[in-house]
Structure 1
Amino acid sequence: MSGAVTVSNIGGARLTLGFDRFDRLDLERHKAVHGRLITPALPELVEMAERVDLRGRGGAGFPFARKLMAVAARIRHPSSDEVLLPGERADRRRPAADAVVVVNGAEGEPGSAKDKVLLTRAPHLVLDGASIAASALGTQRIVVAVEDDEAARSVRAAIVERRMPARVVRLTERFISGQAGAVIRAINGEQPIPPGQKVRASDSGVDDCPTLLSNTETFAQVAVLASLGSDLYAFSGTDDEPGTTLLTIGGTHVVEAPIGIPLQAVLKECDTPVGQGVLVGGYHGMWLDPAAVSRATLSRKGMKAVDGTVGAGIILPLTEGTCPLGEVTRIASYLAAQSAGQCGPCRLGLPDVVRTLNALCDGSGTVNDVRRACGIGRGRGACSHPDGTARFVLSALEAFAEDIRIHRYGGTCGQPVFGVLPLPVPTGSEGRVAIDWSRCDGHGLCAYLVPELIQLDRYGFPVVLGSDIPVWMERDVQKAVAMCPALALRVTTDPPKGAARRS
């Protein structure tokens, strides 16, 4: 992907230093650009991360120092003359165990490219950050989890160059594959889905060992912080949130920018118009209307002021000429099919959200119907996927209120759905449920067997949800097809009308 992505910087390069001269920084070039590897001791690294309030760049924004201390508390052997970490008590430490450092290079979200750019063009910067954390924790166990073929090759080559005892693990390319629990399960050889219950990686991660897991950019930031020191690192950004961050604009442009920069300045740098609105934070993020975009700054504080989020740094403007509600429904359908299907909010709640959006599109539904569907099971999912999807949909109701009003009274806004929001390139294996209406007699058995995808109308005939069949439902759908009394239920690979896809 990195070959098709434009990379630039605003106000000076740090993470992207050397990109103007080299397509990829091998070890020799990396040392020439970034200097020698500096490995501060654990207390020093924790202090540096706290001074600049270094947060994870994967979306959750969890303080890196707290993650580091949580793992350290599980592995360090207390002694009478040992200096304790801030807030640590020797009598509260658990038995020591080996630590593992995991670089989460999974970018399951179609609109993101920043981590792949780092892994393919500056892999040694990422490995520097992982080595710094591993050294501070007294371990050599480093795992880099990636989805992309090019990224995997680049990291493996860098590992060989450094002769370091690290390994690369390939992940399944799914939206939920980047969730921390799913990454841990994949590394452990288990089904790569969220575990369904809250398990802290610092307590039990890879091989049940305390694990420090952060995303690719976070480890690159650690390397920059160790190289520059806290004072120079804080020279960019804001007083509250120092440093720079990587942003993916429109899925095709990665830009490094100082934290606190106006959102409009970044869009202008990428020659990207605001359009009808801008999605910030990706498909678990929030929509901003043009007025909010004009006030937004790219920081936690600045985004909170306009009811937005920086998230994983994904920014997707919605161009003019395409139906906003249709685009939102298209993405919601994709998110419903990407769930792990291990809880009610995913199995039944997300399909219901898609149904209410479809009804809103054709004028037969209401905004309150969508709100009700989004509210069911909130906070009760086995992972954050249903809540993130609901946040995406609910923010769209506010940002595109005028378009929704037109749909409500006219059944359409008159604009086609061009599919401008990025989705994975179809492989041809994606299946969808279809009905042969020349055969269907309205027995209703299909709705009983796969209620997630099929419901009955008031006359008892099936109404099919036009989304891909989730992986976890494939067996149930095959069973329903085989048991249909009229042989009317089918599986097709033809995309539903209006569901155009673009990579």
Structure 2
Amino acid sequence: MTVTAPYAVVPPTGTRRLLAAAGPGLDDHERTHGRLPAIGPGTVDEIGLAGIDGRGGAGFPLARKLAVVAAQAQRGRSRRAPVVIGNAAEGEPASRKDAVLLERAPHLVLDGLVVAALVVGASEAVVATSDRLAAHVRRAIDERVARRSGAPDPVRLDVRPLAHTSFVAGEAGAIASVVDGGRGLPEDRVVRLAERGPSGRPTLVSNVETLAQAALVARYGAAWARSVGSASAPGTRLVTVSDVTDPTGAVVLETAGGAPLGELLVASRLARADPRRAQAVLVGGWGGTWVPAAALDAGLDVDGLAPWGAAPGAGVLAVLDDRTCPIAVTARIAAALAGAAAGRCGPCVNGLPRIAEVVAVLASGRPAGDLAGEVRRLTALVDGRGACHHPDGVARMVRSAVTVFRDDVQAHLGDRCLHAGGAR
């Protein structure tokens, strides 16, 4: 749905942008943001200048994705028009941001789909998400259809409920496969999705938060987007803060990019996220990186996290308090991630279960040689060799645990635990 000029609305200020509307309905959405302006070639330039990166974990610049798919369509190498897919599978166990966005601002996500589709020349755009969240998207699409009263729309919007929203089900290739009627498993691809997806069409898969950010930039421009945030994380982002042992109580914040980790823990108001009790934080998701409490002054952006070997990823901060055994927690996460693998490549079939087994032995406190060295050897073997990036994330998480929790590793090798009640 596009018009030549947007409603005269005042751009949101501060950090309440994605979640600025009073409610999820179309009227609240348009009162807050107006309608989409005309979308043209300059939109991609603004998105690039705004620095919108992928919010599903990879952090790839959206403008580059759009440019590749648009160029592919213009070259005419595919007989079929491109397709745009909004990824809201959110299989990451510690993330809740996509769910909050679809519940509270579904029209901003749909606007982002329209923006991307018009830029790349697609006539179809789909949101892929869980059954529960699909109902919110379907309601928003129906509102738009009713508002049009039969008028044609250049982009057909749809929602595809996913049978599974496991960890690997959110991988771009798996999502594209589901939308095309496939099995929804990651595949080792020689040709990029942007060039030819499962249906033979150039395919753009982008996280729904990324698309919602594009809808804002299409309205208000790059300068407005960069009026908050940091140099390497301009604008705002959604962050999920939780206790790493119990993600069900997670809190989602909209915050300026680059906000210090400690400030975000305080803002969550979670008792288990009190910085004074934090032993470490798993940054980016379960396939992210452990950083110690000494990193709480670091900003949640590429520059701030670089010294700790971490990245924002999916905007997840899973906090470990000072009374919980980090080796036991790492072992549980490694086992869960090994069990979530698609089983389509050697690293998933053999590497991840073996990594989980070694960490479990370490957590049990039964000395068995150089277990820390064995962890490093195994993680090096799976790095970069999977059909998707799932093995890389597991390797990164476990390797960072061995480094950050060095004293705990040594204690467990000596059949003791530094934390009361720690599993051995």
**TM-score between the two structures when normalised by the length of structure 2:** 0.87
Q: Does 1:170 align with 2:165?
A: no
Q: What is the aligned counterpart of 2:114 among 131, 135, 138?
A: 131
Alignment of structure 1 residues 300-315 onto 2, 5 Å = 300-315=302-317
**1:34-49 paired onto structure 2 within 5 Å:** 34-41=33-40, 43-49=41-47
Asked whether the 8 Å contact 2:81–2:201 carries over to 1, the reply is yes
CA RMSD after TM alignment: 2.0
Contact between 1:56 and 1:215, CA under 8 Å: does it hold in 2?
A: yes
CA distance in 2: counterparts of 1:316 and 1:224, whole angstroms: 28
d(CA) in 1 for partners of 2:74 and 2:106? 29
Is contact 1:38-1:226 (8 Å) kept? yes
Instruction: Name the CA shift for 1:137/1:376 in 2 (closer, same or farther; >3 Å).
Output: closer
Question: In structure 1, which of residues 138, 144, 155 is the aligned counterpart of residue 137 of structure 2?
Answer: 155
CA distance in 2, matches of 1:64, 1:364: 47
CA distance in 2, matches of 1:30, 1:105: 20
AA aligned to 1:406 is: A
Task: Note if contact 2:341-2:348 (Cα within 8 Å) is conserved in structure 1.
Answer: yes
Deviation for aligned residue 1:192:
1.2
* Distance across 1 between alignment mates of 2:319 and 2:81: 45
Contact 2:67 2:120 in 1 (8 A): no
Greater Rg over alpha carbons, structure = 1
Shift in CA distance, 382/329, structure 1 to aligned 2, threshold 3 Å:
same
Equivalent residue number for residue 193 of structure 1: 185
Structure 1 residues 164-197: Cα deviation after superposition (integer angstroms, max 9, x where no partner): 6222112212110110001011112211110123
> Within 2, Cα distance between the matches of 1:31 and 1:414?
52
Match of 1:406 among 394, 406, 411: 411
Quote the residue 2:239 is aligned against.
247
Q: Which residue of 2 aligns with 1:293?
A: 296
> SS of the counterpart of 2:239?
strand
The CA deviation at 1:354 is 1.3
CA deviations 1:8-43 (Å, max 9, x no partner) are x9943000103xx43xx21111101111212320x2
Higher RCO (CA-CA < 8 Å; seq separation 6+): 2
Cα distance in 2 between the residues matched to 1:258 and 1:342: 39
Within the candidate set 20, 34, 40, 1:17 is matched to 20
SS in 1 for 2:67: helix
CA contact (8 A) 2:232 2:301 kept: no
CA distance in 2, matches of 1:305, 1:320: 23
**Structure 1 length-normalised TM:** 0.74
Residue 377 of structure 1, CA deviation = 3.1
1:356, 1:373 within 8 Å by CA — same for their partners in 2?
no
Task: Name the CA shift for 1:30/1:181 in 2 (closer, same or farther; >3 Å).
Answer: same
Between the aligned partners of 1:329 and 1:33, the Cα distance in structure 2 is 46
Structure 1 residues 227 and 417: CA distance shift in structure 2, 3 A: farther
Deviations 1:273-308 (A, max 9, x none): 2311000000111000111223x1011111112221
For residues 213-232 of structure 1, give each alpha carbon's deviation from its aligned partner in whole angstroms, at most 9, with x where no partner exists: 10010010001111111111
Per the alignment, residue 423 of structure 1 pairs with none
Q: What does 1:173-184 correspond to in 2, within 5 Å?
A: 173-184=165-176
1:417 deviates by 5.4
> What is the aligned partner in structure 2 of residue 331 from structure 1?
333
User: Structure 2 regions of 5+ residues with no counterpart?
Assistant: 1-11, 146-152
Alignment check: 8 A CA contact 2:177 2:184 kept: yes
CA distance in 1, matches of 2:301, 2:95: 18
* Structure 1 residues 29-87: Cα deviation after superposition (integer angstroms, max 9, x where no partner): 1101111212320x20111012122211111111111111111112126xxxxxxxxxx
Name the CA shift for 1:414/1:56 in 2 (closer, same or farther; >3 Å).
closer
Shift of the alpha carbon at 1:198?
A: 4.1
What is the match of residue 6 of structure 2? Answer: none
Deviation string, structure 1 residues 436-461 (Cα, Å, up to 9, x no partner) = xxxxxxxxxxxxxxxxxxxxxxxxxx
Kept in 2: contact 1:46–1:68 (CA 8 A): yes
The 5 A counterparts of 1:85-100 are 94=77, 97-100=80-83
In the aligned structure 2, how far is the partner of 1:220 from the partner of 1:207?
Answer: 25
Give the SS at the match of 1:117.
Answer: helix
Structure 1 consecutive aligned stretches of length 4 or more whose deviation exceeds 6 Å: none
Q: Is the 8 A contact 1:202 1:210 kept in 2?
A: yes
In structure 2, the partner of 1:426 is none
Per the alignment, residue 346 of structure 2 pairs with 344
Other-structure match for 1:70? 68
Q: CA deviation at 1:96?
A: 5.9
Name stretches of at least 5 consecutive residues in structure 1 with no aligned partner. 1-8, 78-92, 419-497, 499-503
* Aligned residue pair count: 389
Answer whether contact 2:15 2:236 (CA < 8 A) is retained: no
Shift of residue 259, structure 1, vs aligned partner: 0.9
CA distance in 1, matches of 2:25, 2:51: 30
CA distance in 1, matches of 2:231, 2:379: 37
| Letter in structure 2 aligned against 1:335 | L
Contact (CA 8 Å) 1:10, 1:256: kept in 2 or not?
no
Aligned residues: percent identity?
A: 40
Distance in 1 between residues matched to 2:55 and 2:112, nearest whole Å: 13
Aligned to 1:386: 391
* One-letter code aligned to 1:141: E
